Structure 1
Amino acid sequence: MKKFLIWTQYYVPEIGATAIRLHSVARELVRQGYHVCVVTGMPNYPKGQIYPAYRGKFYCCEQIDGVRVHRCWFHPAREVGLGRIFSYLYFIVSTFPVFILLARKVDLIIAEVPPPTVSFGARIALPFSGAKLIVNVSDLWPDWLLSSGLLKPGMVSRLLKLINSFTFSKADFVNGVTQGIINDIKQNYGIPEDKLLFLPNGVDTTLFSYQGPSIRKGGIDEGQKLFVYAGNHGIYNWPIVIAQAAARLQRRRNDIKFLLVGDGSQKREVVAFCLEHNLTNIEFKAPVPIEEVASLYGKAYAAISTYKKGFLSRPAKIFPAMACGLPLVYSGEGEGANIVKNAACGIVVPPEDPDELARAVERLADDYEMAKNLGNNGFNLVQREYSWSSIVKSWLADLEAKLISK
């Protein structure tokens, strides 16, 4: 029985996409007979504040769904800039001793990127371990940051590319969570096909089950059609476009409401916009456990997923909504947009375009049969291709085959 060690800055009970995805993968590996442990920090995402139950602890170990989780204190940060960079470096220093001790006892190490400091630290430690290293890339820095305009070419981008070149070339395998990331790693870093693995985002189909578009009361007036956004409110998610669309719709509709669930660096801007424009058709809810997200989807008419221009990835948040049979309004481009289009499970509009987003919401709200059909298409797709059990099983088969061929 192979033993896995996951080194990541994000893990449950944090509720971001990375934490939930890694927990889902770890839990599924345990279900399929593997031993898994995790080295991470004290939970703090997305507010950058350590959760109350973990405050005052420098180290703790707990069992979550059969996975042993080792946590070390580090200095979290919410805002971008030097504080965030310091936090990334502090995490490596804080968790490195525990990571080294455990790395000697496992067969495979999964180092989660970003931040790239984790994969760099794992590669430095590898000679002391003997384990195989898998660099798991969920966002490709600095490539995406440069293409989206969040980072300008310069010393920082060159340093990040050097770190990637070093860790990707020296790792045993590089894993991408989207096909776009896989393609960029091949083209930009010259990593051969026999070192590449593909472990896409999926969904827990036992937790998120079919609901379909709902028109009912649940914190929302009877007859309202509720559009739910559940996830990070960060700069690349661009949730401000939902508030801008809500402002346009408030002038002409009283049967459409929006619920934004979560937190992040752009949330204050979104809330301020709503207050400035006296919006009454949009509500906010603090981050909630994933189980409560499933309950909220049961009261929703549709789900919304938004992204900044240049974000071409395959977002995790679309799959839980699809598993609940909800139609999607997807404001973005790239791989996520292609999935929605090809599966005919929602309406795709250009990123950062509130007028088009408002029109798509209206169109969906006015055609229940279309909404139901789109939701059914998404549900069927998830059942066929995106349950964690089938994704992890396929990934393990590919990993075993490539291990044998090495």
Structure 2
Amino acid sequence: MKDILIITNYFPPETGAASNRIFHLAEGLQKNNFNVSVITPLPNYPNGRIFEGFRGRFKHTSTENNLTIHRLWIYASNSKNKILRLIAMLSYSFSLIWFFMWNKIPKTVIIQSPPLLVAFTSVFFLRSKKRKVILNVSDLWPLAGLELRAFKKNYSYRLLEKIERFNYKNSNLVLGQSEEILTHVKSIFPEKETFLYRNFPDFEVSLPNHKKNPSEKLKLVYAGLLGIAQGIYKLCLELDYSNIEFHIYGAGAEQSLIENLIKNNPEFNIIYHGEVSRQELHQILTKYDVTIIPLLNRIYGSVPSKIFEYARLGMPMLYFGGGEGENIINKYKLGWIAESSNYQHLNLIISNLGTKKLQLKSSKKIQEVALENFDFSKQLNKLIKLI
């Protein structure tokens, strides 16, 4: 049985796409006769506060689902303050260094990036001719930060670019969840070995057999992180509520803004349901007509993993983010596209989503496409051949 270590910033009981992706990868490798261990911070995401049961600890090690989980100390924060965010990343980096010094590290290591500094710490200390370092890139930083206007092209940005290049150069294999990520890596290191590793879901579903009843208003739903990149607060401000109900599930930095908006604007037909478990969400989502997948701005390299999860559930999607995600929706006929950042076009598309058009987007057909094209096991088996 081959030993393999996964280093990540996110892992259950934390929720979200990153946590789910790494858990399914770890579980999939374990089921394929790998002895998998995971290093992750004490759970704190997305609220920026260590979960109850883990507070006051410097380290917590447990065995869960036949995985060995090492949870290390972190200065937890979800503050928008860049200094506090930097301190949080550095604190976990210091915990990683301490762990590397006192523990035997397997010959194969998968490192999640971003956060860029955490990935750098891991690559810097673990690179070795005798060890295979695999970098799993889910978003392109610092480029994504520049497009989100979180960074400016200054000395700090150039330093982050150097760190990014160091990580690519010293990795034996780079996994990317989008073609754009792999194109970017190849533009810097043309000879680098890469592999497209999408965030395909791995859960059992039954074929949808319910019929949607015509209703007076279209039931639009968003579920996920209420962060800056998703732009849900601005979406709430821009939607035309004359013919829709907008339902929201999730938590994050914009949660209080959204709650205050609902409180102060009762004419907005917004219903905030809070955060629910992934299993509950899978049961809840199919009650709605359409799910929306927004990005505040088009981000090069970003492909929301919700696309693959919702397709497996048979949910028609309204995509509002541009880029490669838009291409996937079009290619596999999973729903509708609204021009990125164009709220007028978004409202026009929504106004045209009458019951008749919704019936054309068969839930069963969407799910069949997902089962055929977004298969987790097939993708994992291809990856294992490279490890």
The yes-or-no answer on 1:14 pairing with 2:25 is: no
Contact 2:233–2:258 (8 Å) recurs in 1 = yes
Corresponding residue of 2:263: 275
Q: TM-score, normalised to structure 2's length? A: 0.92
Residues 59, 342 of structure 1: CA spacing in aligned structure 2 closer, same or farther, 3 A cutoff? same
Corresponding residue of 2:379: 391
- Higher-helix-fraction structure: 1
The yes-or-no answer on 1:336 pairing with 2:336 is: no
Corresponding residue of 1:57: 57
Deviations 1:43-90 (A, max 9, x none): 111110111122222211122322111101211110231100110000
User: Counterpart amino acid of 1:54?
Assistant: F
How far 1:101 sits from its partner (Å)? 4.4
Distance 2:194 2:135 in 1: 10
The yes-or-no answer on 1:76 pairing with 2:76 is: yes
Deviates more, 1:297-306 or 1:337-346: 297-306
Deviates more, 1:323-332 or 1:164-173: 164-173
Runs of 5+ in structure 1 lacking a partner? 401-406
Matched residue SS, 1:337 = helix
Corresponding residue of 1:93: 94
How far 1:355 sits from its partner (Å)? 2.7
Contact 2:134–2:173 (8 Å) recurs in 1 = yes
Distance 2:147 2:211 in 1: 38
Matched residue SS, 1:53 = coil
Deviates more, 1:280-289 or 1:164-173: 280-289
Deviations 1:16-61 (A, max 9, x none): 2111100011111111221111001111111101111222222111
Residues 371, 264 of structure 1: CA spacing in aligned structure 2 closer, same or farther, 3 A cutoff? farther
Work out which of the residue numbers 197, 200, 218 in structure 2 matches 1:199.
Answer: 197
CA RMSD of the aligned region, Å?
A: 2.3
User: Counterpart amino acid of 2:31?
Assistant: R
Aligned ranges for residues 127-142 of structure 1 at < 5 Å? 130-142=130-142
Distance 2:119 2:190 in 1: 16
Matched residue SS, 2:182 = helix
The yes-or-no answer on 1:190 pairing with 2:189 is: yes
Matched residue SS, 2:352 = helix
How far 1:128 sits from its partner (Å)? 7.4
The yes-or-no answer on 1:240 pairing with 2:238 is: no
Work out which of the residue numbers 315, 320, 333 in structure 2 matches 1:326.
Answer: 315
Contact 1:213–1:372 (8 Å) recurs in 2 = no
Corresponding residue of 2:346: 357
Distance 2:200 2:69 in 1: 22
Contact 1:168–1:191 (8 Å) recurs in 2 = no
User: Counterpart amino acid of 1:182?
Assistant: L
Distance 1:244 1:127 in 2: 48
User: Counterpart amino acid of 1:356?
Assistant: H
Matched residue SS, 1:120 = helix
Corresponding residue of 1:403: none
Distance 1:66 1:33 in 2: 11
Runs of 5+ in structure 2 lacking a partner? none
Matched residue SS, 1:383 = helix
Percent identity of equivalent pairs:
25
Residues 388, 65 of structure 1: CA spacing in aligned structure 2 closer, same or farther, 3 A cutoff? farther
